[in-house]
Amino acid sequence: MAAGLKRDPIVILRINGEDLNEFVENPGFETEAIAIFSQVEPTNATLLQCLLAALRQLTVDHGIPPSSDSWVMENVIEPALQELPADKLEQSVSQGVFFQEFRKFLAIITRRLQEHPVIVAHTENTFDGSDIKKLLSNKFELDKLLASVWRGVPKGKDRTAEYIRVAFDRMADSVNLPPYGAVEQVDAVVNEAFKMAKADDGKAVDELEFKKLLTDILGAVMLQLDGNPISVSTNSVIHESMSTSSTLLSPSPPSPMVSSPSE
């Protein structure tokens, strides 16, 4: 994932309970909490199961640090759960009970974040096909890139789909696409583009056909992303103390720390 997002600035967030408190105190909280409950409540689920599932629906935008992080789980979430009635946590839950306990749960988390702020590195990227459009409109740059990837194809081998996929992946960074396998939604778009271009039929192709296939695939990906851009964000906890009290700090240079997508 980091390889696909490496050119994006990293924003350092200090999550200290302020945003979460605003979320809980907002008049629309009840409506959103009920909507979350309807999404996460399986048959005969306990309150504990529902609270944890609901928490995974919240993000840094709500003021919640990544719950998948072990430090956050051990120092924020689990202690907050321990302050709720243990017997109630193991009981099946109604919508009304969930709403009341979810508010209490988030209020406790807010307090713990005030006492122990969490520093999170956050980055976002939107894949909208605009860089592909620029490349396709510049014949000189397109021809140069196609020539470069063609030279990378092993000589004496049939130029089948296997090598076309490798060549396309080598072009990805030049058109602001993540490496294949890094972003599932983008992979689906690329797969569809290969089908549209009939590049998966295993047929051997010469240099001209090879370059035409890649150009057609680029065009198909561009059209899909132009109509339905894909936004991806990552959040990673920085395990060190920071003395500043500001909620949002200046962006820091990109680092390999941002590598896992948020829940």
Q: What is the DSSP string of 157-190?
A: S-B-HHHHHHHHHHHGGGGT-PPTTT-HHHHHHH
Number of structural domains (the chain) is 2
118 and 140 both lie in a single domain: no
Per the domain annotation, does 260 fall within a domain? no
Domain shared by 17 and 66, yes or no: yes
Nearest CA to 39 out of 21, 22, 58, 23 is that of 58
Residue 48 maps to a domain: yes
For residue 175, being part of any structural domain is answered with: yes
Mean pLDDT of 121-133: 92
Q: Is 228 helix (H, G, I), strand (E, B) or coil?
A: coil
Q: ∠ CA 201-204-207 to the nearest 5 degrees?
A: 120
Same structural domain, 115 and 140: no
Owner of token pair 């198909």:
220
133 and 120 co-located in one domain: no
Give per-residue pLDDT as tens, 240-250: 654 343 343 33
**Residue 169 and residue 57 share a domain:** no
Residue 262 belongs to a domain: no
- Complete edge-to-edge strand list for the sheet that includes strand 230-238: 11-15, 118-127, 230-238
- Same domain? For 146 and 91 the reply is no
pTM of the model: 0.62
Whether residue 146 sits in one domain with residue 84: no
Mean pLDDT, rounded, of the chain: 84
Tell me if 37 is assigned to some domain. yes
Domain membership of residue 17 (yes or no) is yes
- Say yes or no: 11 and 116 in one domain: yes
Residue pair 108/82 in contact by the 8 Å Cβ criterion: no
218's enclosing H/E stretch is helix 207-227
Co-location of 103 and 181 in the same domain: no
Q: Are 58 and 11 found together in one domain? A: yes
Whether residue 111 sits in one domain with residue 23: yes
> Could you list the residue range(s) of the whole structural domain that residue 145 is in?
129-227
pLDDT at residue 215, rounded to an integer? 95
Classify 177 in phi/psi space as left (phi over 0), alpha (psi -120 to 50) or beta. beta
Residue 140 lies in a domain: yes
In a domain, 250, yes or no: no
CA dihedral 84, 90, 94, 97 (to 10 degrees): -10
The average pLDDT across 112-141 equals: 93
Per-residue pLDDT of 209-242, as tens digits, reads: 889 999 999 999 999 999 999 988 888 899 865 4
Check whether residue 196 and residue 87 sit in a common domain: no
Question: What tokens does 230 get?
Answer: 């894909």
What is the pLDDT confidence band of residue 58, given thresholds at 50, 70 and 90? very high
